[in-house]
Amino acid sequence: MRIAILLYDRFTALDAIGPYEVLSRLPGAELEFVAAERGEVRTDNGMLTLIAERSIAEVPRADVLLVPGGPGEVAARAGGPVLDWVRSLHETTTWTTSVCTGSLILAAAGVLEGRRATSHWLALEQLAALGAEPVSERVVFDGKIVTAAGVSAGIDMALQLAASVAGERVAQAIQLGVEYDPQPPFDAGSPSKAPAEIVQLLRGHSRFEAQLT
Amino acid sequence: MRIAILLYDRFTALDAIGPYEVLSRLPGAELEFVAAERGEVRTDNGMLTLIAERSIAEVPRADVLLVPGGPGEVAARAGGPVLDWVRSLHETTTWTTSVCTGSLILAAAGVLEGRRATSHWLALEQLAALGAEPVSERVVFDGKIVTAAGVSAGIDMALQLAASVAGERVAQAIQLGVEYDPQPPFDAGSPSKAPAEIVQLLRGHSRFEAQLT
């Protein structure tokens, strides 16, 4: 099973690496990081560089496409070869997936027209403006399209996808392998649970970066 | 605050990237990926390459040291400059931390002698053999040493560390920023919860890779 994870300048690392860590453990997984051109791609905060080992031209097809989010999504969905590639790949994928604001890229590629989808909680209105039907859920399946909420939600999405692809037993073995028994120290991971002042803080701040300087 | 994340050949990506995604959002964080030499470092499954932008020689001190795990830990803790660097950095860190089998590297560096610590559930016996006092908990604080259980546990650890460093409000804002409201599809993330046959499967398998081929 070929899995293509799109990288682009200023993507958010965990959006891509959470699902990578789960999906790469699927039996027979051939997982590749793909960008407009081969080579170095820098994350949103400039503190990390990953290598895209394939260019979009080299990957005309994949069974699973995963599009991460991050502040760079604005440029990525402005148009151009990457957006064309997403649109074209989607035609033959078995699963087309996104994490966080990666769904805005899918929407801009025309893939989410009228489809139920999710995104980072701060981006749901924008998702609606781009033609999708936004849903405040952590993981949303609509046919072959699977979208996850913000950043860390890609791990939950990938485990659900693993179960769909390879069965519950395999997904559970992967979950145990990565010891995913989450114990967050606070119950503050969604706007419905976090203290109101924290929600306001993030709403007022430059989106998705959450730098509390 | 200077945060150094050690990279080495065949580390497990999420061990490093989970905490990176949280700690990089701390106010004033200067986070660097460090390896024996600058340049490309490949993950455990060979499907991903990250760039270490600093060599250990260039980073003689850090406020926070984070050591990820992965199959490459065996070579990393066999001795040599990386192990010396871990030992030396630890002398002046504010926090010395690890995820998964990264704690075996800390132990081999002599940092965990008689200290309470955790690791991947499959590595707790080995941790004891290296002189630590193994604890079956997801995140263990012992003085300035903080260790996390397998792979995904680094996210929980980093949020606890963020609260210790910058206060609960900042940690909660980071948690909301990365929308960490985990909803794993199965309750199979620890050996005490997963079906016995899955636990046996992983025990019998080449450790930490969980490739179900």
pLDDT in tens, B170-192: 999 999 999 999 999 999 999 99
Give the residue among B112, B143, B149, B146 at the shortest CA–CA distance from B129.
Answer: B112
Q: Cα separation of B111 and B98, whole Å?
A: 11
Q: Do B182 and A155 touch (CB under 8 A)?
A: yes
All structural domains of chain A with their residue ranges: 2-182
Domain spanning A2-182, CATH architecture: 3-Layer(aba) Sandwich (3.40)
pLDDT digits (tens, 9 = 90+) for A135-158: 999 999 999 999 999 999 999 999
Q: What is the CA radius of gyration of chain B?
A: 16
pLDDT digits (tens, 9 = 90+) for B106-146: 999 999 999 999 999 999 999 999 999 999 999 999 999 99
3-state class (DSSP) for residue A35: strand
pLDDT digits (tens, 9 = 90+) for A27-65: 999 999 999 999 999 999 999 999 999 999 999 999 999
Q: Do B32 and A47 touch (CB under 8 A)?
A: yes
Give the containing element (helix H, strand E) for A40: strand A39-42
Nearest to B33 among A14, A48, A209 (CB): A48
Q: Cα separation of B166 and B192, whole Å?
A: 33
- The question of ipTM being above 0.90 is answered as yes
Nearest to A179 among B121, B185, B197 (CB): B121
Q: Which residues lie below 8 Å from residue A17, measured CB to CB, with a gap of 6+?
A: B13, B14, B17, B18, B48
Query: So what's the pLDDT on residue B211?
Result: 43
Q: Do B208 and A177 touch (CB under 8 A)?
A: yes
Q: How many CA atoms lie within 13 Å of B8's alpha carbon, on the beta-carbon side?
A: 25
CATH superfamily name and code, B2-183: Class I glutamine amidotransferase (GATase) domain (3.40.50.880)
